[in-house]
Amino acid sequence: MNIADSQTVTAIMRRAGYTASDNAGDADVILLNTCAIREHAEERVLGRLSDLARLKAAHPQRKLGLLGCMAQHNRAALMRKAPWLDLVAGPDSYRRLPELIASANFDPAIDVRLDRTETYADIPPEYENSVRAYVTAMRGCDKFCAFCVVPYVRGRERSVPATDILREVRQLAARGVKEIVLLGQTVNAYRCDQVGFGALLRKVAAVEGIERIRFTSPHPSDMTSDVIEAMAEEPKVQPYLHLPVQSGSDRVLAAMGRGYTSQAYLSLIERLRSAIPNLALSTDIIVGFHSEDQQDFASTLGLMRAVGYDSAFMFKYSVREHTRAFKLGDTVSDTEKSRRLSAVIDLQEALSLERNRALLGCEFPVLVEGPARRGAGMLVGKTPQFKTALFPAAPSIRPGDTIRARVDSATAHSLVCALA
Ligand code: 5AD
Ligand code: SF4
């Protein structure tokens, strides 16, 4: 989502006459896009900001700006910690960036107004030339999970009209993009002018030239039959779903305000698996939420085993100001959170390895992305299940091609293949 936002910002800046520089040292304006989801993300931004302060000190006329959720979340503390900032702009203020930059002279320019209607639908983002492109389908979130700062920093849920999404997808297809990833904080809550998410998937699937469609992140409560049917019936919609569960304990799920029980989540997984053969699943897990005890934690491990996720993003709970859980405080010590985090990571490594090893000898269509970062003479791409596949390069194979690959060996994170 932040990559997509940065591409929108780049497009806005270019319209105003700016050009992009590869090197912060050469730039007249340096904008840092930020995340506020966990404290760790904020700490990294503060570290980066103090590096950039040195560049600014050498050339005081250079403008330094902070964008995104962290700008929205904690602007007062931010201006105290980084008083050399010229500009602070929240996620709904990017349209006004050129004016903000121009007005940031003696005092910093700050614009963190949230706007219930801003979708940037009319601004085609500046895409990198690649096989895959991210297209924003909706912004914001109305779910207000107790731990999460997103609804406060990105504002209310709003969807981009399907006509705008389709225009963008057609333009991308014309530029050779093969895979579209539809984006939104709760992307399957998409609804605009009577078009729901299932219908949107079908409309995007009808665009010629687009070969694969994915989306992230759906919320389990919005996983309606029309979405499942569209996934099952549209061959372009890939058999992979990132479905954040957060916890396997019903007590913790209720305290988080997630709107489902572990049983309801598991039944949903069953429905998905029976509708979509070979579905791969990933998830998000938080360990150490307020009052999570050993029994709750054991339920999380149990749910992970019951589902058998292909991969997972796992986090230590981080108390965020403004959220509903902020007042509750932190009851699990950092040492204990670290212990639980290691345990979920170890379990997931074992599950991922087991799932990947089960694919030995199987063949998959792999959409080629380019040279592998590791392994000279190897190319990398994704299987329909969004698994990383490595295979030997050949002069005839180019990014954007789909090749058939047979799995020769597997680690928890990738499949090493031969051309089939
Ligand atoms: N602490 C830890 N993890 C969090 N996430 C969201 N808020 C927090 C928090 N306060 C995680 C959730 C979400 C993912 C994007 O980040 O797992 O799905
Ligand atoms: Fe945050 Fe996702 Fe919950 Fe929205 S649905 S509040 S983005 S965790």
Full DSSP string of 170-207 = HHHHHTT--EEEEE-TTGGG-EETTEEHHHHHHHHHTS
> Of all helices (H) and strands (E), which one includes residue 102?
helix 97-103
Q: Return the structure tokens found at 236.
A: 């372009």
Residue 217 CA, closest ligand 2 atom number? 2
Q: Is 322 left (phi over 0), alpha (psi -120 to 50) or beta?
A: left
Residue 37, ligand 1, Cβ within 6 A: yes
> What is the model's pLDDT at position 76?
85
User: Among 147, 285, 332, 341, which residue has the most ligand 1 atoms within 8 Å of its CB, making it the best to mutate?
Assistant: 147
Which residues 6+ apart lie within 8 Å of 7 measured at CB? 125, 126, 127, 128, 134
Q: Per-residue confidence of the chain (420 residues) as pLDDT tens digits?
A: 999 999 999 999 999 999 999 898 899 999 999 999 999 988 899 999 989 999 888 888 999 999 999 999 888 888 888 999 999 999 999 999 999 999 988 788 999 999 999 999 999 898 887 899 999 999 999 999 999 999 999 999 999 999 999 999 999 999 999 999 999 999 999 999 999 999 999 999 999 999 999 999 999 999 999 999 999 999 999 999 999 999 999 999 999 999 999 999 999 999 999 999 999 999 999 999 999 999 999 999 999 999 999 999 999 999 999 999 999 999 999 999 999 999 999 999 999 999 999 999 999 999 999 999 887 899 999 999 999 999 999 999 999 999 999 999 999 999 999 999
- Note the pLDDT of residue 201: 98
Buried b (16+ CB within 10 A) or exposed e, 322-348: ebbbeeeeeebeeebbeebbebbeebb
The response to whether residue 138 sits with its C-beta less than 6 Å from ligand 2 reads no
Query: What is the amino acid identity at position 181?
Result: V
For residue 257, the CA-to-ligand 2 centroid distance in Å is 10
- At 243 the three-state DSSP class reads coil
| Model pLDDT, residue 209 | 98
Q: Considering every ligand atom, which ligand is closest to the CA of 243?
A: 1
> What span, in angstroms and rounded, lies between the C-alpha atoms of 85 and 53?
8
Cβ of residue 364 lying under 6 Å from some atom of ligand 1: no
Residues in the chain: 420
Cβ-Cβ contacts under 8 Å for 179 (sequence gap 6 or more): 131, 132, 133, 210, 211, 212, 213, 214, 367, 382
HSE of 282, CA atoms in CB hemisphere, 13 A: 17
The finding on whether 286 has its CB within 6 A of some atom of ligand 1 is yes
At residue 129, the pLDDT reads: 75
User: Which among 38, 258, 283, 309 is the best mutation to test ligand 1's pocket, defined by most ligand atoms within 8 Å of the CB?
Assistant: 38
Q: Which atom of ligand 1 is nearest to the CA of 285?
A: 17
Pairing of strands 63-68, 87-89: parallel
Which pLDDT score, from 0 to 100, does residue 105 have?
A: 83
**Peptide bond before residue 217 is cis, with ω within 30 degrees of 0:** yes
The CA-atom distances, in angstroms, between 390 and each of 213, 250, 300, 332, 337 are 21, 40, 32, 40, 34
Count CB neighbours of 212 within 10 A.
22
Which helix (DSSP H) or strand (DSSP E) does residue 405 occupy?
strand 402-410
Our mutation pick for probing the ligand 2 site, out of 1, 38, 69, 150, counting the most ligand atoms within 8 A of Cβ, is 150
Looking from the CA of residue 142, the nearest atom of ligand 2 is: 4
Instruction: Give the whole-angstrom CA distance, residue 181 versus residue 135.
Output: 6
Ligand 2 centroid–CA 192 distance in Å is 20
Q: Which ligand is nearest to the CA of 300?
A: 1
**pLDDT reported for residue 280:** 98
Task: Using CB atoms within 10 Å of the CB of residue 361, give its burial: 0 to 12 exposed, 13 to 18 middle, 19+ buried.
Answer: exposed
Taking the centre of ligand 1 as the mean of its atom positions, its distance from the CA of residue 315, in whole angstroms, is: 7
Give the distance (Å) from ligand 1 centre to CA of residue 285.
8
